[in-house]
Structure 1
Amino acid sequence: ASAQVRRVLLLPPSAVLLQTLQLPAAAARNLSTVVGYELDRFTPFDAGQLYF
C-alpha cells in the first residue's frame, strides 16, 4: 500500500487573484463549467491556466 503524502502550498497575497462572483442559483448544477465560461470576463487568463 502506498502512503499518501499531504502537501501544502502557501502563496503570498501578491501571487493570488481573488474574485467574488454572484451567479444565479441554476448555475450550481454546472458550477465548474459556468465559472470556466466567466473567467475571461474577470481575469486576463483562460480556464486552462487557472485553478478554481
Structure 2
Amino acid sequence: MTQSLHAPMSETHPARSIAQGVWPVMCTPFKEDGSLDLEKVPELVDFYLNA
C-alpha cells in the first residue's frame, strides 16, 4: 500500500467544490516552424467538446 505525503482533503475544503469532474488536458498546436498554430485552436476545442 502506498502512503500519501499529504493529509486527505476534507469534504468541505474549498478546492473540492472547484476541482470536480473530468479535466482533460488540451494539446498545444504548433506549426512546422515551432510557432503556435492559433488557427488550429478552435478545431481542437470542438474536438474536445464533442469527445
Same fold flag (TM > 0.5): no
Which protein has the bigger helix share?
Answer: 1
Q: TM-score range by the shorter chain?
A: 0.3 to 0.5
